[in-house]
Every structure is written in structure tokens, then in C-alpha cells.
Chain A
């Protein structure tokens, strides 16, 4: 099931994805990541601690509902396997891991902020923190660059 879906993502992604991969910056700056982890530790630690792993958030994500309800689209799964992993490894992640998380944080979530958790975990906020961390390492999609709108083609 997993491999099946990664194929779908590659098809979703036009040639620009290849271009990103060529420009991989091999070094991860742990300090930069940790600065953000520290700032948001209250939220990250609370969410990871409180999440009951109950999967009730799954049905609130339209991507989960439309993509044949694959596990990878569960909101909780998205933050646990991205920001959660970065946090548990104290920022010591490899660039390859970050690229994998990029797929989760951009391709599997549009930050529509509609997902809901009965315990009140603010999942989109966590996913946004994840995106922020990846951006500091130059890992993001070209359509999501940090440049003024006017400069975008």
C-alpha cells in the first residue's frame, strides 16, 4: 500500500521536483532546527504527550477521505512522523529524512486547518512548524518559496 502511494505522489509532482533534488544541500544545521524546537517546545511536547493515538482525526482531513483513506493521510500520523521525529531526535536528522518529510508536510497536507482532534491538539499548527523547520534547511517545494509574490513567475 505504501509503495503504491509514493508512486501516486511522484506522478503528482511535475519535473520541478527533480530540480529540487539536484540542489540538495547536504548539511543539516542542527542549531537552526533546535532554535525553532525550543521556541515551540511547549506545543510540540504537549501534543506528542497528549495524543491518544486514537485516529479520530483521520476522518476530518479531506485528503484522507479522498485518497482512499490511506494511513499516511491521517493528520496525527503526519505530525508524528515529521515534526515528532525531528523533536525526538533533537534536530539530528539527515537531509534524506527531511526530504521524506517534505512529502508529508507539503504533498499530504494543504494546511487547510480543518482537521479536528477531540483533545484539541492543534495539528495544522504543528504541521506549519514542521514546514518552517524544513524551510530553514532549504527543503521545500518550489511553489512554496519564501519570496515576495511579485517575484514569482
Chain B
């Protein structure tokens, strides 16, 4: 068990970060390469001002018409993404690991706050799951992979919460937590989770088209 813990926090962690970073760079490069070779008009379209204008509007809660039409989804998805992003960066257990291994550290979240944020992520995933099962439109678009990804995202939060609160079997759960976190990182470049990096570009591209060509808002 101990050996496995060291494997998961050592070599496997390195592999996970390498796959995450390397895979993301590779995906980006191959997309850019494709666009440059075949579809270079994309670059002529791009306009920094219109791109930023669109990105900003879609990052502000209720900044777009679509968000006003779907208020529940807007609230849940904003809370979900904020907590999803900040919790792993600032949870005490993680900062300690950075401190021990690389002697760098930063701000940590108070435990109660980390717990609430973890809870928000888990509850949001349940909400997304509910939508996928119950709402006809969402169900229609849902593929098995959507469920798997939802699980991959929720798993580190459930297991992290479990391990941190030392519920029964927490030693095993800690290892499960680490591995599930690593799986999530490695999944990002190769699944729809890659939207976290592509968002500025897809949004920027359509923002440029609306601003520069159609002279219209796109939010």
C-alpha cells in the first residue's frame, strides 16, 4: 500500500502532468497547423478587440442573452466552474504537497470553505447528471462518454472529501483520490474537457466574425 502511494504521488503524478501539458500543447499545435495549411482565412478574421469583447461578455454571469434564458443553468455552471478551478489549486492538502516537494507555497482555503466548494462541485455534477437523464433535449444529445466524463470530474472531489474527512477506508480512498485526479488531468487534452483551453479561441473567432463582418453583438 505504501509503495503504491509513492508510485501514485511520484512517477504517476509526473506522467499525469506531462500528459496533461504535453498533450494540450500537441492538440493545440496540430489544430493550428491544420488551420494554417487549409483554412488560413481563420487568422484573417481574428480581431483582438472583438474577440476580447465577446470573451468578456460570456465570462460575466448573466452577461449574455443565453444565460438570462437559462438562469438555473447559469448559476450552477458558474459556481461549478469557479469551484472546480479554484478548489484543487488552493486546498490545503495540495499546497502542502507542493511545499514538501518543491518548497513553494501559496494561499490556502480555510477548511470549511474548501468543504463547501467541494460540495458545490459534487452537487453540480449531480445536477448535470439529472439533466442528462431527465431533460428530453439533453438526453437526446448525451453520449455514454458524457457520463464517463462527468464521473471523471466528480471522482477527485468525492474521494478528496472522503480522504480529508477520514471516513472509513480513507487510506485507500487517498490513493483512489490521487489516481482519479491524475486521470482527470490526463483526460483534459483528449476529451471535451479541452474546452477550457479552446474556449478563448472558439469564442474569439465567432466574436470576431460578429464584430468585424456582421457588425453585431454575439452575446
A53 → B minimal CB distance (Å): 4
A52 → B minimal CB distance (Å): 6
Listed stretches A19-27, A70-78, A100-108, A130-138; interface member? A70-78
Which of B34, B65, B70, B137 has its CB near the most chain A CB atoms (within 10 A)? Answer: B137
How many A-B contacts at CB < 8 Å in the complex?
Answer: 100
A34 at the interface (CB under 8 A from B): no
B112 at the interface (CB under 8 A from A): no
Contact A55 B138 (CB under 8 A): yes
Main secondary structure of the interface of B (DSSP, over half): helix
Report the separation of the CA atoms of residues A47 and B206 in the bound assembly, to the nearest whole angstrom: 12
Fill in one digit per residue for A98-132: 1 if any B CB lies within 8 Å of its CB, else 0.
Answer: 00000000000000010010111110000000000
Contact A77 B65 (CB under 8 A): no
- When distances are taken between beta carbons in the complex, the residues of chain A under 8 Å from B73 are 54, 56
Given pairs A53-B143, A69-B137, 11 additional interface contacts (CB within 8 A): A40-B39, A42-B31, A42-B38, A43-B42, A50-B202, A51-B192, A118-B58, A119-B199, A120-B201, A120-B205, A122-B209
- A residues touching B (Cβ–Cβ < 8 Å)? 38-43, 45-47, 49-60, 69, 71, 74, 76-77, 80, 113, 116, 118-122
- B residues touching A (Cβ–Cβ < 8 Å)? 31, 34-35, 38-39, 42, 54, 58, 64-67, 69-70, 73, 135-138, 140-143, 146, 191-192, 194-195, 198-199, 201-207, 209, 214, 218-219
9 pairs from A and B in contact (CB 8 Å cutoff): A42-B31, A43-B39, A46-B31, A49-B198, A50-B202, A59-B69, A76-B141, A116-B218, A120-B201
